[in-house]
Amino acid sequence: MTHMAEHLEAILLKENLSTTDVVNLLAGNRVLKDKGYGNGSKAYNLITDEQIAKNKTRNIIEKRRLIEEIWESSGHDKYRIELKGEFRFPRNYVFGWAKEKALSSGSLFEEFFACIRYAIDRGLITPQDWAASKRNQPSWLDEAREKNFPVDMPQPESNKEKPKKQESEPSEREINNSLRIIGAMRDILTSQDGDVKEQKKNFTSDSQLINYLVANYDGEGLSVSTLKARFRDGANLTERKKK
């Protein structure tokens, strides 16, 4: 089982990246392709390492294809290194290349910059590594800054001034979603059905309980992602009474 950002960390620890490493980093995700290149392919976010929804996978693959074409169409002859029969590229060179391409790519590299911000905040790369990654003379940097492209060192999340949260009343929809979860849990705990009583004894993890809820109960708020978030937040607020 991989831990969060394990694949991103593995890429950034390398001094020289393979073409697959480069595309994964620039796209901010990795894809396990099936033979049909689409229907059975799986995409995973590099930061969370969570699988991306199947209905978004085809768009992810298409975006990766565009990024790979842009990368391969650029001239890298001066920078590529042949190691064990495979061309590799200095990591900081890839950083600088992405900065330059961001000037004209719009949102194409949003996930890449999210990975860089995460990496700096977690110490996977240093701010100096990012600041030093330039391909061109600084003249293009002024143009990039004027267009508000993130070419300068991303600020670690811990250094950013976080806006003060404003207390707000939960919406009727949020209340109903929470009540629906409570109702499903009550049904499991009080049901006299033998199968349910046997099942509830064997819940050894959040995942087992969540999968059971999703499979047996309908309604908004009973999705895997919502249940995970509610269980996590609930666990943080719950304290057992001291005996």
**What would the mean pLDDT of 42-63 be, rounded to a whole number?**
90
In 10 A of CB 156, how many CB atoms?
A: 15
More confident residue, 164 or 140: 164
Find, among 143, 132, 22, 136, the residue nearest to 88 by Cα: 22
User: Which residues have C-beta within 8 Å of that of residue 119, sequence separation ≥ 6?
Assistant: 8, 12, 125
Edge-to-edge strands, sheet with 81-83? 16-18, 86-90, 81-83
Percent of the chain with pLDDT over 90: 13
More confident residue, 17 or 80: 17
Residue 88 has pLDDT above 80, yes or no: yes
CB-facing half-sphere around the CA of 130: CA atoms within 13 A: 23
**What would the mean pLDDT of 139-159 be, rounded to a whole number?**
58
More confident residue, 182 or 25: 25
pLDDT tens per residue, range 91-129? 888 888 888 887 766 678 889 989 988 988 888 888 877
As a whole number of angstroms, the distance between CA 151 and CA 129 comes to 13
Question: Which pLDDT score is estimated for 145?
Answer: 59
Residue 204 has pLDDT above 90, yes or no: no
**What would the mean pLDDT of 63-68 be, rounded to a whole number?**
91
Taking the whole predicted model, whether its pTM rises above 0.85 is answered as no
**What would the mean pLDDT of 17-38 be, rounded to a whole number?**
83
pLDDT tens per residue, range 178-194? 877 877 777 777 666 65
